[in-house]
Structure 1
Amino acid sequence: MNKPILFSFFSGSGFLDLGFELNGFDVQFVNEYHVPFLKAYQYSRSRLGISTPKFGVDSSDIDHLVYGEGRALLSQKVSKAKESGSPVGFIGGPPCPDFSVGGKNRGHEGENGRLTRTYVDGIIKYAPDFFIFENVKGLWRTKRHREFYEQMKANLVEAGYELADRLTNSIEYGVPQDRDRIILFGVKKASLSSKLSKPLLDALGWESYVKYDRDRILGSEAWPTTSAYREDSKLPLPKSVQGLEQLTVEYWFNKNNVSKHPNSCHHFVPRAALSRFQTIDEGDVGKKSFKRLHRWRYSPTAAYGNNEVHIHPYKSRRISAAEALAIQSLPKEFELPADMSLSNMFKTIGNGVPYLLSEGIAQMVSVFIGRYLSQELPQEHREAAQQSQ
């Protein structure tokens, strides 16, 4: 089977895409409305030697592609991809502040919340063989948001999709970060080689791709609490953390050699906060803002907007973009353009899907596709190819 083809939406700087790109998928179309993020996407791929998407990059509002004048062109691109005989998938995580308790919490009627419906409508309209939808846990756990989410799932089922979802924490995949996200996977029934004999969640074998038990890791008493802050102090790995050090901030700072990374100097320097940076204990993340990370512990959720300030464990400053990328488990070769504003750097990092999580999901989907998707062109692919001729 040829490489599965992906159409990426709400791509940001491409953290989710990268997990798929480096695990056997071919991203052929990229849509990101915020141009600085799109430029960073292109820059990072040029530095990594990844070829440009066959069907290009697009900065249109997704409404334009699903409901507006961009429909015809996107339809042609999807039809061309289907003609290749490769499985075609959509991946994306619509902006989530409207479903976040820590954000706007306006739900599906909010400016960003409505984009979830648009993405689902696009899946139904263009009928990819499979899709990935990623979003915050508020869409799963908050009652009024959950009702909307269940309605979107019902619409997808009515359109012929089998669905499986899971509230997933990034730390389960080896990311040094406590970050809950919904991952919803859907597959078009018509694209399956035969009817599944078990629930889709079991067919995916989701749990077998998880490396760590979330509750055990996050609830462990092995993690250090706080330590007195001293600039450039030395603090050996606690014996209690041995065997879990790969889930710590310091491990990833060393792994990515952050002091030598191209984005190592990219951090905010607010002069007025210097004295505050010198008085917060290492590991004190209990405040709403000004959280000092502990070098031998995992990080809180990487969220660097809305006055969320993460402070370096043993330096009197905020963390750098290089350090934030390490906390998101990006490969050390991944970098953002030097001329990108600091606000855009930290926003795209905080919005992104941690790399190791995206890699784990990509590997799971790849195995499922090879095992269950038809090796022959589905009927609807043949129809689409005939219509485009």
Structure 2
Amino acid sequence: MRIASFFAGAGGLDLGFQRAGFDVIWANEYDRDIWETYAKNHPHTHLEKRSITAIDPTEIPDCDGMIGGPPCQSWSTAGKLRGINDNRGKLFYDFIRILEEKQPKFFLAENVAGMLLPRNSEALNSIKKLFKNAGAGYDLSFQLINARDYLVPQDRKRVFFIGYRRDLGQRFEFPEPIDMKLSLKSAIGDLQDLAIPARDGNYTNGRACRVPNHEYFTGGFSSLYMSRNRVRSWDEVSFTIQASGRHAPLHPQAPKMEAVDKETRRFAKGSEHLYRRLSVREVARIQTFPDDFIFYYKNLAAAYKMIGNAVPVRLAQVIASKIMADFG
């Protein structure tokens, strides 16, 4: 089955669908810092680099499915919460505009849990209604999912909109959680002693990394960062991987941060040397990208951004496999 991917980023969602047997024939990504990474890791997919706002549906090949995660900063609790009032929030409507014209058998859209905040309820209900009424109409399934329930070693809550075209007479049912959790030890334990710090200004070491992309963001920690514990133990899953190197979780080799007061934590005395951010490769592992998926960047900030914005590959594969089974 043929897929068109929007807001593709580095292609975590795309890779999950490919592993489930789909053919991602066309993808759209506007961020030039990601183009090389996507193109080299998805060599058989046509990459369209213009903004979705400039794309006419007739330019997109016929496809069985449309997938994508419109930019989430507008809805995120870590952002300014502008939601649909932000131009990025409105990109949902461009996805729906193309869906209405192309009328594929199914679509999938993913976004942050911040969409569920009461202040976004009107916009969320509007988006659901537009999805249901697009073209001939879609039977919509909507659910909040934590990636940790699907063999992703990370607490990561995201909402999924999945619609099957109404004339097909089917409705997507979300897979049951898997009764097993993967720990940080199982995900990144073998990388502990191989990481190197970024060069000055957080520029990449390039091929000097013994393990590709195994370098970590350096620099001080803000008062916001130090306001709560940022360390998960080896036997736990990671905190959410964010689209920021500065706010990356700390490596589990260090003790959990100690409380000074309600709003402040500190590094455990005598263990300060153990505190470092997770490396680019480590956050990629936690997002379940394979080691042969290489990220291309000059500054590490771009690497953390593209990885943090991705859908975990394994979660994408679980959902895509269910869709493939429904249409197989």
Give the partner amino acid of 1:322.
Answer: R
2:27 counterpart residue number: 30
Give the partner amino acid of 1:89.
Answer: G
How far apart are residue 293 of structure 1 and its match? 3.1
User: Quick one: structure 1 residues 179 and 287, their matched pair in 2 at CA, closer, same or farther if it must change by over 3 Å?
Assistant: farther
CA distance in 2 between counterparts of 1:162 and 1:362 reads 17
Q: 2:101 aligns with which of 86, 103, 125?
A: 125
- Report the 3-state secondary structure (helix = DSSP H, G, I; strand = E; otherwise coil) of the residue aligned with 2:175: helix
1:299 counterpart residue number: 238
Aligned-pair Cα RMSD in Å: 2.4
How far apart are residue 364 of structure 1 and its match? 0.8
Answering whether residue 188 of structure 2 is matched by residue 253 of structure 1, we say yes
Answering whether residue 60 of structure 2 is matched by residue 64 of structure 1, we say no
CA distance in 1 between counterparts of 2:72 and 2:51 reads 16
User: Quick one: structure 1 residues 76 and 100, their matched pair in 2 at CA, closer, same or farther if it must change by over 3 Å?
Assistant: closer
Q: 1:75 aligns with which of 39, 58, 63?
A: 58
How far apart are residue 257 of structure 1 and its match? 8.5
1:326 counterpart residue number: 285
| Identity over aligned pairs, percent | 29
User: Larger deviation: 120-129 or 248-257?
Assistant: 248-257
How far apart are residue 126 of structure 1 and its match? 2.1
- Report the 3-state secondary structure (helix = DSSP H, G, I; strand = E; otherwise coil) of the residue aligned with 1:326: helix
2:158 counterpart residue number: 181
Going by fraction, where is strand more abundant, 1 or 2?
A: 2
Q: 1:355 aligns with which of 301, 304, 313?
A: 313
How far apart are residue 306 of structure 1 and its match? 8.5
Alignment of 1:190-201 (within 5 A): 190=167, 192=168, 195-196=169-170, 200=171
How far apart are residue 269 of structure 1 and its match? 2.4
CA distance in 2 between counterparts of 1:258 and 1:27 reads 37
1:235 counterpart residue number: none
Deviations 1:46-75 (A, max 9, x none): xxxxx422xx2111111101xxxxx1xx41
TM-score under structure 1 normalisation?
0.69
1:262 counterpart residue number: 212
Give the partner amino acid of 2:2.
Answer: I
CA distance in 1 between counterparts of 2:326 and 2:243 reads 35
- Report the 3-state secondary structure (helix = DSSP H, G, I; strand = E; otherwise coil) of the residue aligned with 1:27: strand
Give the partner amino acid of 1:292.
Answer: V
TM-score under structure 2 normalisation?
0.81
Alignment of 1:1-389 (within 5 A): 4-45=1-42, 51-53=43-45, 56-65=46-55, 71=56, 74-78=57-61, 81=62, 88-139=64-115, 141-159=116-134, 160-190=137-167, 192=168, 195-196=169-170, 200=171, 204-208=172-176, 210-212=177-179, 247-254=182-189, 259=194, 261-264=211-214, 266-270=215-219, 287-288=226-227, 291-305=230-244, 307-314=246-253, 315-337=274-296, 339-370=297-328
Gaps of 5+ in 1: 46-50, 66-70, 83-87, 213-243, 277-284, 371-389
How far apart are residue 114 of structure 1 and its match? 1.0
Deviations 1:305-328 (A, max 9, x none): 285242212243211101111111
How far apart are residue 176 of structure 1 and its match? 0.9
CA distance in 1 between counterparts of 2:280 and 2:230 reads 16
How far apart are residue 156 of structure 1 and its match? 2.3
Deviations 1:26-85 (A, max 9, x none): 00111000012121111223xxxxx422xx2111111101xxxxx1xx41433xx35xxx
Q: Is the 8 A contact 2:153 2:184 kept in 1?
A: yes
Q: Is the 8 A contact 2:29 2:48 kept in 1?
A: yes
Going by fraction, where is helix more abundant, 1 or 2?
A: 1
- Report the 3-state secondary structure (helix = DSSP H, G, I; strand = E; otherwise coil) of the residue aligned with 2:239: coil
Deviations 1:121-158 (A, max 9, x none): 2211222221001001111x212312212112212222
Q: Is the 8 A contact 2:16 2:320 kept in 1?
A: yes
